[in-house]
Amino acid sequence: MLYNGLYFHNVSELEQRDHGSGVRLQRFPKEVRHQLSEKGRWKAVQSNGCELRFVTEAKHVRVTVASQETNGRVFVFRGDFFHSAHTLQAGVVQTLQLDVPERFADVIPERLNNRAFQSNVWRLYFDRFSAVFYEVESFGFEVRAPYPEEMPRLTMLAYGSSITQGAGALANYNCYVQQAARRLEMDVLNLGLSGSCYCEAELADHLAERHDWDIAYLELGVNMRSVFTVEAFKARIHYLLDSMIERHPGKPVFLTTMYPNRGTYCHEEASIRPYREHEEQFNDVLRSYCADKQHKQLHLLNGSDIMTDFVSLTSDLIHPSDYGHMLMGEQVARLLCTEVERLRAKAVGK
């Protein structure tokens, strides 16, 4: 999204605040957010994975931002190089001072760039909080949005549970979908919804109507296994997948079964045994859909091939630790690599 000469990544809507200046960075449009479950509505306003991107010749820049309700962190990058981290206090408008790294001038430019970002691009990456943007002060120097060739050519859309949203990672930038995208030199639109990945029809329609992605990665089921019947899960999954495939028949859609968790390996007397039974049934729904559909761009992955080390979870036995997110990111990148390189070659040939 372009706004006042700036580029906002993973932002569907810049929402004017009811009381006060600034705009809130929203991953979903209001008409979609307000059709989600109660929990989904307040998870959807978290700005994780949203980025402010711009380019300027100014050596020193000030960016004014805030965190709406809770303390939050902003990670700053120049291209793909980490620059600095900043903690925002809830409800306090703060101005971040950004200075161009002096040492960049000592290195030949081509070593500072990769197939993802050019090193002249300022990137402010927002963690899991509701972010508010106010202004960029460049002291009279021009500020512009990055050109397409200064950013990744390919984009992965990711939708799933809190695992996909990044729970368990000490910094959201290190969650597994971000890790995978970094390895594949892609952009990622992280639309994970913690505890509320319910595949509502309005959400499915929104994903299908979007045209800003090249590959979709869907982690479905774990939030629904204790809430929905198998039949209800099947109906929602079929609607979501049918909608995306019909609107984007030529785009790869990767679908994964559930990642191993405490329910997967619970003992026979455990109170959560029904979780295991639903998990197996829900995974079978995904397998049956793919087998029946026989769509050449639909790829089914096994969650156990992605989350390969059970002790890489945190002690809640559902969310990956930083180590787990790293391992999962490596596996996802490996499994998507062939398709990504095919798309990259096709994009270069245009």
Q: What is the mean pLDDT of residues 120-142?
A: 97
pLDDT exceeds cutoff 80 at 348:
no
Given a cut of 80, is residue 185 above it in pLDDT? yes
Show me where the domains of the chain are located.
Answer: 2-150, 155-349
Overall CATH class of domain 155-349: alpha beta
Fold match between 2-150 and 155-349? no
Of 186 and 68, the one with more pLDDT:
186
Can you give the pTM of this predicted structure?
0.95
Would you say residue 269 has pLDDT above 80?
A: no
- The dotted CATH code for 2-150 is 2.60.120.260
The upper half-sphere exposure of residue 171, i.e. CA atoms within 13 Å in the direction of its Cβ, equals 16
CB crowding 301-327: b at 16 or more within 10 Å, else e: bebeebbeeeebbeeeebbbbbebbbb
**Cβ(72)–Cβ(128) below 8 Å:** yes
> Is pLDDT above 90 for 33?
yes
Q: How confident is the model at residue 350 (pLDDT cuts 50, 70, 90)?
A: low
| pLDDT above 80 (res 19) | no
pLDDT of 20 higher than 80? no
Please, what is the average pLDDT of the chain? 95
User: What pLDDT, on the 0 to 100 scale, is given for residue 313?
Assistant: 97
Cα separations in angstroms, 67 against 92, 122, 165, 342:
7, 20, 18, 40
**Among 174-188, 198-212, 254-268, where is mean pLDDT lowest?**
254-268
- 109 — pLDDT class (breaks 50, 70, 90): confident
Quote the CA–CA distance of 77 and 178 in Å, as a whole number: 14
> What is the band of 276 on the pLDDT scale with cuts at 50, 70, 90?
confident
Band of pLDDT at residue 271, cut at 50, 70 and 90: confident
Q: Above pLDDT 70, what percent of the chain?
A: 99
In this structure, how many other beta carbons lie within 10 angstroms of the beta carbon of residue 4? 13
If pLDDT is split at 50, 70 and 90, which confidence band does 263 have?
Answer: confident
